[in-house]
Chains A and B, each alone.
Chain A
Amino acid sequence: GQSLEQPSEVTAVEGAIVQINCTYQTSGFYGLSWYQQHDGGAPTFLSYNALDGLEETGRFSSFLSRSDSYGYLLLQELQMKDSASYFCAVRDQAGTALIFGKGTTLSVSS
């Protein structure tokens, strides 16, 4: 089956850089994606990695190493508004739905 592990909480200060790790176990791999969810809100898609390497989208970057079954989300120049939960996700065995990790709560302080 599929399983994902990510830290439950991360704290950082404004302007800093933070890395949120995700390790996964899957019977078939179709890529790793990341979602952001502000408290009480809907999850929103951030990024997707199908191949090894770094994908950059503004202040956010996502990395994948398929040989290590590992990826991370890198947030630079942290702002208070980045305080949220971040979820990694992989496709299920049938390849038709997403399985999410339990989420990492990021708290950014001034």
Chain B
Amino acid sequence: NAGVTQTPKFQVLKTGQSMTLQCAQDMNHNSMYWYRQDPGMGLRLIYYSASEGTTDKGEVPNGYNVSRLNKREFSLRLESAAPSQTSVYFCASSHRGASHEQYFGPGTRLTVT
């Protein structure tokens, strides 16, 4: 099992460009999450999907959109990137939303210039 995979690993964007971060899990988990991590700020929840077909905003959703494509895949889109979105993005999954045990992907390091 690969667990949670994310692509790309690194990305540099110019202000105003768009991109989609991809995430997939092979553990048959129901719930998936997108976090961003900035120095000294811990992990902040952007969006989550408690189950296939549902998505909800987290703590910092502005500037992002998500798509739960199917049970395995959960993508994060930046429509018009801004320097404030420079961060490390982690995707995670769990068996169900009520579970405290989440499995994280390796992260995408995004720089917006």
Chain A contacts to B: CB under 8 angstroms: 8, 30-31, 33, 41-45, 48, 87, 89, 91-92, 94-103
Contacts and interface: CB of A to CB of B under 8 A. Distances in A.
Count class of interface residues, chain B: 20 to 34
Contacts of A97: 33, 45, 48, 50, 56, 58, 97
A87 B107 contact: no
Interface of B: 4, 31, 33, 35, 40-45, 48, 50, 56, 58-59, 90, 92, 97-98, 100-107
A99 B46 CA distance: 11
A42 B107 contact: yes
Contact of B104 (A31, A42, A99, A103): A42
Where chain A touches its partner, the secondary structure class is loop
A98 B102 contact: yes
Nearest to B101: A45
Nearest to B94: A98
A70 B50 CA distance: 27
Given A42-B105, A97-B45, A98-B33, 8 more contacts: A30-B100, A43-B92, A45-B100, A92-B45, A95-B97, A97-B56, A97-B58, A100-B43
B42 A100 contact: yes
Given A42-B107, A96-B48, A96-B56, A101 B42 contact: yes
B106 A41 contact: yes
